[in-house]
């Protein structure tokens, strides 16, 4: 039986984990936290007033509530005890909800926003009759079409900019040129079917590529470039004899190296600075050695 509606969307997301995209409800979660915060503050003020009344009371046992939990929690026949402890039980429940809401919001905040390419793919699948063609009719019909306040539940398979460039820019170009003989052979190597026979109804019309092979290819290219840059800089510096030009080339190659490191590895600034400094130092040492 062909799946429809929510069932079809769920099946599509199951087969494409990178497209598991849902609403974050950031504003509603924050509003809930603010309401809980206000509730906790109100209960806190009530308890402080009750504690002050009991501490200053001249009646027997009531001042002991500040020093004996058992008396406070169990001597409800004493005026003031039951009300103060009841407020504490309400505060305990409100505090738990408040703390849970904050922890949940912090965890949700760590989930990344969806990759624009993956969001566009999901929107196209929902919109195109030849693909999914799923049109929800409830109030949630425009959840994904708005493209705001969304989060991806799965980590993106392509962790660095270079890998994303290959997946989102180079691969679509290759797919467009797939009819050529050479590109057809490459496609036969990279493309894979998620099912051993025919594609499923939710996956119909979508070409799926092996992310592991794409990541391996991008990693190999990055490794080659990282190996060639130091060698290339030394070769160029060897061929140039003028010291002024050599210093300019040191700056140029350092910029190229730091840019490549930032683009291909999504490195932290500290890592980029450290690696670039070491690269520049190697070039300076070579200049000093070859000059002498």
pLDDT tens digit at each of 292 positions of the chain: 788 899 999 999 998 888 899 999 999 999 999 999 999 999 999 999 988 887 777 566 677 777 777 777 777 666 656 788 888 999 999 999 999 999 999 999 999 899 888 898 899 889 888 888 898 999 999 999 988 999 999 876 656 666 767 766 676 666 666 655 555 555 555 554 344 334 445 555 566 666 667 777 777 777 888 788 888 888 888 888 888 888 888 888 888 888 887 777 665 677 777 778 888 888 888 788 776 5
Quote the pLDDT of residue 43: 96
Helix (H, G, I), strand (E, B) or coil at 51: helix
Report how far apart, in Å, the C-alpha atoms of 80 and of each of 42, 58, 171 are. 18, 12, 73
Compute the distance between CA of residue 16 and CA of residue 207 in angstroms, rounded to an integer.
12
The length of the chain in residues reads 292
Provide CB contacts within 8 A for 202, sequence distance 6+: 3, 8, 11, 12, 15, 132
Q: Is residue 125 within 8 Å of residue 12, measured between CB atoms?
A: yes
Q: What is the pLDDT of residue 20?
A: 93
Up-side HSE of residue 5: CA atoms within 13 Å toward CB?
Answer: 5
Quote the pLDDT of residue 36.
97
Which uninterrupted H or E stretch holds 21?
strand 21-23
CA dihedral 169, 170, 175, 179 (to 10 degrees): 140
pLDDT of residue 196: 39
CB atoms within 10 A of CB 281: 11
pLDDT on residue 138: 92
Task: Say what the pLDDT of residue 91 is.
Answer: 95
Other Cβ atoms within 10 Å of 286 Cβ, number: 17
Copy the structure tokens of residue 129. Answer: 């009759």
Query: What CA–CA distance (Å, rounded) separates 291 from 129?
Result: 69
Give me 118's structure tokens.
């993956």
At residue 96, the pLDDT reads 97
Distance between CA 271 and CA 276 in Å, rounded?
8
The alpha helices in the chain, defined as continuous H runs, are 5-15, 26-55, 69-74, 81-110, 116-127, 143-146, 161-165, 171-176, 181-190, 211-239, 243-265, 269-291
Task: Name the one residue in this structure whose structure tokens are 């052979």.
Answer: 185
């Amino acid at each position: 039986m062909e799946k429809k509606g929510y069932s079809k969307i769920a099946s599509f997301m199951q087969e494409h984990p990178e497209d598991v995209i849902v609403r974050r409800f950031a504003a509603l979660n924050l509003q809930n936290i603010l309401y809980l915060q206000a509730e906790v503050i109100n209960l806190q003020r009530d308890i402080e007033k009750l504690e002050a009344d009991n501490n200053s009371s001249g009646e027997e046992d009531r001042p002991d509530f500040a020093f004996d939990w058992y008396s406070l929690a169990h001597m409800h026949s004493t005026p003031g005890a039951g009300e103060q402890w009841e407020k504490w039980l309400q505060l305990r429940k409100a505090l738990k909800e408040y703390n849970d809401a904050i922890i949940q919001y912090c965890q949700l905040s760590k989930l990344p926003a969806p990759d624009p390419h993956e969001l566009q793919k999901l929107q196209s699948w929902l919109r195109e009759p030849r693909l999914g063609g799923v049109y929800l009719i409830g109030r949630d019909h425009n959840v994904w079409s708005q493209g705001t306040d969304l989060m991806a539940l799965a980590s993106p398979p392509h962790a660095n900019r270079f890998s994303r460039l290959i997946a989102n820019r180079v691969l679509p170009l290759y797919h467009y040129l797939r009819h050529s003989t050479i590109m057809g052979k490459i496609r036969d190597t990279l493309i894979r079917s998620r099912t051993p026979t025919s594609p499923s109804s939710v996956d119909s019309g979508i070409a799926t590529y092996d992310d592991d092979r794409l990541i391996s290819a991008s990693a190999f290219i990055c490794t080659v470039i990282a190996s060639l840059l130091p060698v290339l800089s030394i070769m160029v510096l060897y061929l140039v004899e003028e010291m002024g030009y050599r210093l300019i080339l040191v700056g140029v190659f350092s910029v190229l190296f730091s840019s490549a490191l930032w683009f291909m590895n999504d490195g932290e600034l500290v890592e980029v600075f450290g690696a670039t400094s070491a690269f520049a130092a190697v070039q300076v040492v070579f200049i000093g050695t070859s000059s002498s």
